[in-house]
Amino acid sequence: MSTEQSAALFERARTVTPGGVNSPVRAFAAVGGTPRFMRSASGAWLTDVDGHDYVDLVCSWGPMLLGHAHPEVQAAIAAAIARGTSYGTPTEPEVELAEEIVSRTPAEQVRFVSSGTEATMSAIRLARGFTGRDVVVKFAGCYHGHVDSLLASAGSGVATLRGSQAHTPGRPLSVPGTAGVPAGSAAETIVLPYNDRDAVTEAFAQYGTRIACLVTEAVPGNMGVVPPAPGFNSFLAQTCREHGALFISDEVMTGFRATREGGWGLDGAIEGWVPDLMTFGKVMGGGFPAAAFGGRSDVMAHLAPEGPVYQAGTLSGNPIATTAGLATLQLATDEVYERLDATAATIRSAVAEALTAAGVPHVVQHAGTMFSVFFREGAVRDYSEAGAQDTATYAAFFHSMLDQGVYLPPSAFECWFVSAAHDDRAVSAILDALPSAATAAAT
């Protein structure tokens, strides 16, 4: 497969952009090879600058629930653009999109921002402003955007919590997970192993009066898909309530994707727990930069202009983005989710069958329509287990699929996404490519 044009663009890009990309995973560093520069997309398909077509199992990292360039979404966007692209005033589509989100989730109010990172950053500021406390609890392997205080490694904080050593006042709870984050930002973050109730109980026993909030992905998808153990989210909500901390459910990835009601639809809607705050992004922007945070109206009332917690944005609630998001959600009916579920199930079992036939150790995990494949044996319950997989095997599998025209996430730790536009032709192309990709993975 010729990648001449992509390679040439990558070289030009590297001159003017660090690593040649505007988000690190796009550089193919984890799998090697030339990142494909895409020229266009339609339905379930991407077309690169060398003219190759790929069935897309990344879907822009989640947003493209209906597929690319959906005609009705495109028409709504075109009509909105014809009316101007940004006014810096309140608009009707913002109200309609907020109403749609509130009708599908337990959030009573939402505030729009432009990225998932901004949503979690703002939710944490609000939680701190509301509670008057500083400490944030998160789980290793959960990604909440590149918020300074959330880019903390498990480090000494977890060792302190899990070990016999008592925490020394003044010593940081955690250490930065990347250069450029001041130690002070991570110092107020506690990082715990996912699905570990004892770790949560210990953390709250020791720091309960200082904890402003616990933030978790509704279903972690950023270490691959690692479903919460039954009752785990409910336990987190309860623990937060007992200690006067806020429970923040990050639905940037799962929102309107895992189910019609997001990750909350998988357990919260059934078990009856409600997060204090939630964050949304991806699908709700219909392919544009739009995100939101929301939740209890008494907490949201602490936001400016009503309350003392400042938060703002020049392009927040942009009319094109909110129009695209609204059109997407209005078209995302129960039938769409049934179709996504069926497509995802077909692909999941075909992947498992092909890898089993080739003798490649693997486990496929899913939550609603989201799924991922771990190249290891045994269920994955937390970040350490997710890390214990064979990434070189994934790279071989990935490249074989790519060469056969299937675009998978260029990292073993990412979720696979399907769209309602994945029809029989797209699914057949995936199924046909699997046996030789499994063989490539086995060698």
Q: Any idea which residue has 């990835």 for tokens?
A: 253
252 binds ligand PLP (CB under 6 A): yes
Of these, 3, 105, 109, 120, which contacts ligand PLP (CB under 6 A)? 120
How do 211-217 and 135-139 pair as beta strands?
A: parallel
143 forms part of the interface with ligand PLP (CB under 6 A)? yes
Among 104, 125, 133, 144, binds ligand PLP (CB under 6 A): 144
Instruction: Tell me: does residue 281 bind ligand PLP (CB under 6 A).
Output: yes
Q: How far is the CB of 239 from ligand PLP (least distance, A)?
A: 21
**In angstroms, what is the minimal distance from the CB of 281 to ligand PLP?**
5
Query: At 433, phi and psi to the nearest 5?
Result: -80, -20
Strand order in the sheet with 53-56: 38-42, 45-48, 53-56, 406-407
225 belongs to the binding site for ligand PLP (CB under 6 A)? no
Q: Which is nearer to ligand PLP, 248 or 303 (CB)?
A: 248
For residue 305, cis peptide bond before it (omega within 30 degrees of 0): yes
User: Rule CB under 6 A: is residue 228 a binding residue for ligand PLP?
Assistant: no
CB of 147 to ligand PLP, least distance (A): 8
Closest residue to ligand PLP, based on beta-carbon distance:
116
Identified binder of ligand PLP from the candidate list 63, 145, 275, 409, rule CB under 6 A? 145
* Catalytic residue chosen out of the listed positions 196, 250, 276, 382: 250
* Residue selected from 136, 253, 321, 429 as contacting ligand PLP according to rule CB under 6 A: 253
Contacts 24+ apart (CB under 8 A), 185-189: 185/148, 185/149, 185/152, 186/148, 186/149, 186/151, 186/152, 188/134, 188/135, 188/136, 188/149, 189/135, 189/136, 189/137, 189/138, 189/149, 189/150, 189/152, 189/157
Percent of the chain that is helix, strand, coil (3-state, to 5) = 45, 15, 40
One residue of 56, 94, 250, 261 binding ligand PLP per CB under 6 A: 250
Say whether 20 sits in a helix, a strand or coil: helix
138 tagged catalytic: no
- In this chain, which stretch among 90-98, 141-149, 163-171, 178-186 interacts with ligand PLP, using CB under 6 A? 141-149
Considering the complex, what minimum distance in angstroms separates the CB of residue 277 from ligand PLP?
13
Non-local CB neighbours of 66 within 8 Å, separated by 6+ positions: 73, 328, 331, 332, 336, 419, 420, 421
Query: Which listed residue (267, 282, 383, 407) is catalytic?
Result: 282
Cβ of residue 269: shortest distance to ligand PLP, in angstroms? 19
112 binds ligand PLP per the rule CB under 6 A: no
Pair 305, 111: CB distance under 8 Å: no
Told to judge if 282 belongs to the known catalytic residues of this protein, a careful annotator would answer yes
Instruction: Copy the structure tokens of residue 252.
Output: 């940037």
Residue carrying the six token digits 């992004």? 281
Site for ligand PLP in 291-350 (CB under 6 A): 291
Smallest separation (angstroms) from ligand PLP to the CB of 223 = 11
Residues 6+ apart with CB under 8 A from 320: 77, 80, 81, 85, 86, 288
In terms of CB distance, is 25 or 49 closer to ligand PLP?
25
The residue to which tokens 């030339």 are assigned: 34
The catalytic position among 48, 138, 143, 394 is 143
257 is an interface residue for ligand PLP by CB under 6 A = no
Residue 394 annotated in active site: no
| Tokens standing for residue 330 | 């209005």
Piece in contact with ligand PLP (CB under 6 A), picked from 116-124, 203-211, 232-240, 346-354 = 116-124
State both tokens at 124. Answer: 């944490």
For ligand PLP, which residue of 109, 222, 259, 365 counts as binding (CB under 6 A)?
Answer: 222
Q: With CB under 6 A, what is the number of residues at the site for ligand PLP?
A: 15
Identify the residue among 34, 115, 160, 365 touching ligand PLP (CB under 6 A).
115
116 is an interface residue for ligand PLP by CB under 6 A: yes
Alpha-carbon distance of 304 to 352, in angstroms, equals 50
Helices within 303-411 (DSSP H only): 319-331, 334-357, 383-387, 391-403
Pick the piece of the chain touching ligand PLP (CB under 6 A) from 24-32, 109-117, 128-136, 229-237: 109-117
Q: Measured on CA atoms in the order 321, 341, 104, 332, is the torsion positive or negative?
A: positive
Q: CA of 27: how far to CAs of 22, 44, 47, 221, 375, in Å?
A: 9, 22, 18, 20, 21
Binding residues for ligand PLP (CB under 6 A)? 61, 115-117, 120, 143-145, 217, 222, 250, 252-253, 281, 291
Active site residue ranges: 143, 250, 282
